[in-house]
Chain A
């Protein structure tokens, strides 16, 4: 087995070097910022709802990229954090606590705690074994919510009112929610960018590229990886808060292993270890799903074939492709 396992592509090329990734992200954010106006002008205001969903998943994919792209830690249970965040909102709301700040705080703490406990155990393993142990914890969280009858069990829980801020229903309109989600995305992006560039981030990347060397120069990777895992879990939990508000409904279905797999696919599709790639991957994945599913009932076959072709004929996902188109011939 390759010992680097999951690290791979990131180690081979620093595709779309720092500045390119930043410019790419800024372009995406600018497009997101004017999107509601464009949607209105184009006579399709509903597109904002779809775009909100895309942004929510982009946040989750971004958090996964921190551990996957920079830490070579492949979590196959990442959807569980989103689910915990979403359930924090719905459960607090059924008990009359509708303030988004309280909900978000609880969501972040709950998902961070779950990440701390499961991460502390999981990080003893490496590579594929790590993938599977995170899957195991994800499944446990899923089955726990399925059997939790008091909060709807498998049928899920309807959120009758979106979260409020100090009593004001700021998120009630689609536009309000959209910009709130966008603000979280931009905030998470710059936070993670700073994290990655810091000394902490350098240790994380160093471990990804060569674990033995990092250990030889006196770093124990474990606390760094665990911290990154907890941070990623907390951000995904925040994405869950937004998801609950966007669908006005929570369900254990948000936590299935298929959903975790989709998040991995988004990150890999976009290109790992660039942060921008994760956002692009979420956009690409969900837009493809949206467009293809409206064209043909059997759209999965086209979608699947595209994924295969992308792997076979582009290296490093969408970001790799963009890097080669815009960044000259590196390879």
Chain B
């Protein structure tokens, strides 16, 4: 039982880390440019497809990843110039409409280019296999790599935002863009970079899941909703909030799914417990979000002051 709990906690953390990678970019873009980007999940999908393609071309996952990341960055910047740049000063609902349209275009585009069938990315040899944990339980190496990569990214982002000059500009740009602009900073370019960075982070998440998940058109849609849950629970614009909320969502979903029914069996008879557990399991994170927002209407780490 304890072993299982340990394993589930690890799994929850790993799932949370993945959500964080996608959510970090979304919350940055949302917090700094005040842009609701529904197409963020699509960037995650594009990252996975680019990785799959470059891995197949080069025959090596790491080379594929190294090529896919700049490609995702470029893709993000191109999208920014073509579409998003013109959406910054629009109201949120127009942004929703336009980015919803973009989802349709990109999902269908991926379907046309790569076909409807899911495609495969093999796990690189040195990261395959599993290591013993406790007792008979083992844990896949690749998942440990995902956790490590996510933690490093989180650390890097924290450093970038709170310890560098670019980060300072970002924070300033978020609270008062015209002022920063008046001080001679090219806000347009700053926004473009942030958007590209966000796209690359989402693409990185897509690349990391490509070997363990099915790479298919529309794979970004479910992730999109979960990431919105994450950034809203965390408080929009807060990287720290996104990190905490992502882990929370990952853990509640993974651990709750397994141990919810077990706990329910203590108070209900087995068949009722199983039925209730089955009904509640998919709702868990939504229930959690409703509770969090009920108690803290602006999320766990609300931005002070606002803009």
Contact = CB atoms under 8 A, between A and B. Distances in A.
Is chain B in direct contact with chain A in the complex (CB below 8 A)? Answer: yes
A113 interface: no
A132 B103 contact: no
A307 B97 contact: yes
A306 B97 CA distance: 10
A147 B274 CA distance: 12
Contact of A269 (B97, B228, B298): B97
A259 to B, nearest CB: 13
A125 to B, nearest CB: 4
B94 A311 contact: yes
A144 B97 CA distance: 28
A124 B97 contact: no
Contacts of A304: 100-106, 108
A45 interface: no
Contacts of B293: 124-125, 129, 132-133, 136
A264 interface: yes
Interface in A110-147: 121, 124-129, 132-133, 135-137, 139-140, 143-144, 146-147
A44 interface: no
B299 interface: yes
Contacts of A109: none
Interface string B70-112: 0000000000000100110011111111101111111111011
B286 A136 contact: yes
Contacts of B90: 8, 311
Interface string B276-307: 00110011001101100110011100010011
Contacts of B87: 311
A8 B282 contact: no
Contacts of B253: none
Nearest to B107: A300
Q: Most B CB atoms within 10 A — which of A124, A126, A264, A304?
A: A304
A63 B297 CA distance: 25
Contacts of A303: 101, 104
Given A1-B34, A74-B93, A298-B112, A128 B83 contact: no
A186 interface: no
A16 B256 CA distance: 51
A129 B30 CA distance: 13
Interface in A6-50: 6-9
B236 interface: yes
A301 B112 contact: yes
* Contact residues on A (Cβ < 8 Å of other chain), bracket: 35 or more
Nearest to B279: A147
Contacts of A143: 279, 282-283
A68 B94 CA distance: 13
B279 A126 contact: no
B232 interface: yes
Contacts of B286: 135-137, 139-140
A8 B97 CA distance: 14
A129 B301 CA distance: 13
Contacts of A126: 297
Nearest to B104: A304
A312 interface: yes
- By DSSP majority rule, is chain A's interface helix, strand, loop, or mixed? helix
Contacts of B86: 312
B104 A307 contact: yes
Contacts of A6: 91-93
B152 interface: no
Contacts of A295: none
Interface string B185-215: 0000000000000000000000000000000
B127 interface: no
B236 A8 contact: no
A121 B97 contact: no
Nearest to A308: B101
B97 A265 contact: yes
B57 interface: no
B91 A7 contact: yes
B29 interface: no
A308 B298 contact: no
Nearest to B111: A298
Given A132-B293, A307-B100, A140 B283 contact: yes
Contact of A129 (B112, B298, B303, B306): B298
Contacts of A272: 93
A177 interface: no
Interface string B108-151: 11011000000000000000000000000000000000000000
28 contacts: A1-B34, A1-B237, A6-B92, A8-B94, A9-B91, A9-B94, A125-B297, A128-B30, A129-B293, A133-B293, A136-B229, A136-B287, A143-B282, A258-B221, A261-B96, A265-B96, A265-B97, A268-B96, A268-B97, A272-B93, A300-B107, A300-B108, A304-B100, A304-B102, A307-B97, A308-B83, A311-B97, A312-B86
Top 3 nearest A-B pairs (CB, nearest first) are: A8-B91, A307-B101, A304-B104
Interface of B: 30, 34, 36, 83, 86-87, 90-98, 100-109, 111-112, 221, 225, 228-229, 232, 236-237, 275, 278-279, 282-283, 286-287, 289-290, 293-294, 297-299, 303, 306-307
